[in-house]
């Protein structure tokens, strides 16, 4: 999944994975603990019971123990997703991603692993 950080993908599951990764980018890994991905999945499931996307962002931040503001990159990505999910688009997306939370989280994990490998390869070439 090679998506610009500020242009959300069209596929609902990929958009959900992007949301998960953006939120994880602002989370403290030490606070997330050893069961990192299970926690991300349950945070997503809980967040997507919200009625609006802004509320979902706040719930997800609370569940991931994100204190204070989101990082600048996360904020920009969240704003882009929020623009896509404005109005009636949010609830169908939230329902689908909540139903498929295990799959969405797996996509997020794959994308995160690919991102890490890309960074590692770039460091080795430098």
Give CA–CA dist 84/90, Å, rounded: 8
* Predicted local distance difference test score (pLDDT) of residue 1: 42
- 70-87 tens-digit pLDDT: 999 999 999 999 999 988
Flag whether 4 is in a domain: no
What average pLDDT does the segment 41-53 reach? 97
Flag whether 41 is in a domain: yes
What average pLDDT does the segment 24-51 reach? 93
Is residue 26 predicted with pLDDT exceeding 90? yes
Flag whether 47 is in a domain: yes
Flag whether 3 is in a domain: no
Closest listed residue to residue 98, CA positions, set 20, 24, 34:
20
Domain of 62 in residue numbering reads as 12-125
Structure tokens at 70: 């989101």
**Please, are residues 12 and 93 in contact by the beta-carbon 8 Å criterion?**
yes
The string over 27-64, giving b where at least 16 C-beta atoms fall within 10 Å of a residue's C-beta and e elsewhere, is beeeebeeeebebbbebbbbbbebeebeebbebbbebb
Flag whether 111 is in a domain: yes
Does the reported pTM lie above 0.85? yes
Number of domains making up the chain:
1
What average pLDDT does the segment 84-96 reach? 94
Flag whether 77 is in a domain: yes
Range scoring the smallest mean pLDDT among 43-47, 88-92, 105-109, 119-123: 119-123
* Predicted local distance difference test score (pLDDT) of residue 89: 93
Flag whether 7 is in a domain: no
Flag whether 6 is in a domain: no
């Amino acid at each position: 999944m090679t998506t610009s950080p500020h242009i959300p993908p069209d596929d609902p599951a990929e958009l959900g994975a992007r949301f998960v990764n953006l939120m994880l980018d602002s989370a403290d890994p030490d606070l997330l603990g050893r069961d990192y991905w299970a926690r991300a999945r349950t945070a997503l499931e809980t967040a997507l019971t919200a009625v609006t996307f802004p509320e979902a962002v706040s719930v997800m931040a609370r569940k991931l123990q994100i204190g204070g503001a989101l990082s600048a990159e996360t904020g920009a990505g969240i704003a882009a997703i929020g623009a896509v999910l404005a109005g009636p688009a949010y609830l169908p997306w939230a329902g689908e991603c909540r139903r498929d939370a295990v799959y969405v989280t797996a996509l997020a994990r794959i994308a995160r692993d690919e991102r890490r490998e890309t960074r590692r390869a770039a460091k080795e070439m430098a």
